[in-house]
Amino acid sequence: MKIATGVSAGALVLATLLGCGAAMTALYKDVTIDVDGKSSRYGAFALTVADVLAAKGIALRAGDIVTPSAAAPVMDGDTIQVSFAKQVTLDIDGQTQTLTTNAANLATVLGQLDDPPKLDGAKVSVDSSAQLARGGNMIVITTPKKVTLNLAGDKDKVTTTALTVADFLTEQGVLLDDDDDVTPAETTVIEKGMTVKVDRVDVGEVTVTEEVPYETTKKKNASLWISETVVEKKGQVGKAKRTYLVTKTNGKETDRKLLSETVLEEPVTEVLQVGTKQSSSGTKLNLARAAMWDRIAKCESGNRWHINTGNGYYGGLQFNLQSWIANGGRDFAAYPHQATREEQITVANRYYAKAGLKPWGCRHAA
Got the DSSP string for 250-314?
A: TTEEEEEEEEEEEEEEPPBPEEEEEEEE--TT-PPP--TTHHHHHHHHHHHHTT-TT-B-SSSEE
Residues paired with residue 344 on neighbouring β-strands, in sequence order: none
- Overall fold of domain 203-273: Resuscitation-promoting factor rpfb fold (2.20.230)
Task: Count CA atoms closer than 13 A to 183's CA, side-chain side.
Answer: 8
pLDDT score, position 228 = 76
Which pLDDT does position 24 carry in this prediction?
61
Q: How many CA atoms lie within 13 A of 171 on its CB side?
A: 17
pLDDT of residue 152: 95
Domain spans of the chain, in order of start: 9-83, 86-142, 145-199, 203-273, 278-365
Sign for the CA dihedral angle at 119, 124, 126, 132 comes to negative
> What is the CATH architecture assignment of 86-142?
Roll (3.10)
The per-residue pLDDT for 2 is: 45
Q: What's the confidence (pLDDT) of residue 71? A: 95
Amino acid 7: pLDDT: 46
Contact present, 73 and 26 (Cβ < 8 Å)? no
DSSP-assigned letters across all residues of 314-348: ETTTTEEHHHHHHTTGGGT-SSGGGS-HHHHHHHH
Q: Using an 8 Å Cβ cutoff, are 267 and 215 in contact?
A: yes
Is the alpha carbon torsion for 17, 19, 20, 24 positive or negative? negative
Q: In whole angstroms, what is the distance from residue 147 CA to residue 150 CA?
A: 10
Asked if 88 contacts 102 with a C-beta cutoff of 8 angstroms, the reply is no
User: Per CATH, the architecture of 145-199 is what?
Assistant: Roll (3.10)
Q: Which CATH superfamily is domain 9-83 in?
A: Beta-grasp domain (3.10.20.30)
Cα gap 287→302, rounded to integer Å: 19
The reply to whether domains 203-273 and 278-365 share a CATH topology is: no
Q: Looking at this protein, which amino acid is placed at residue 313?
A: Y
CATH code, 278-365: 1.10.530.10
The DSSP string of 12-34 is HHHHHHH-HHHHHHHHEEEEEEE
Beta bridge partners of 136: none
Per residue of the chain (366 residues), give pLDDT as tens. Answer: 444 444 454 444 444 444 455 556 668 999 999 999 899 999 999 999 999 999 999 999 999 999 999 999 999 999 999 999 999 999 999 899 999 999 999 999 998 898 888 888 899 999 988 999 999 999 999 999 999 999 999 999 999 999 999 999 999 999 999 999 999 999 999 999 999 999 999 999 999 999 999 999 999 998 887 767 899 999 999 999 999 999 999 999 999 999 999 999 999 999 999 988 777 677 888 999 999 999 999 999 999 999 999 999 999 999 999 999 999 998 888 899 999 999 999 999 999 999 999 999 999 998
pLDDT at 283: 81
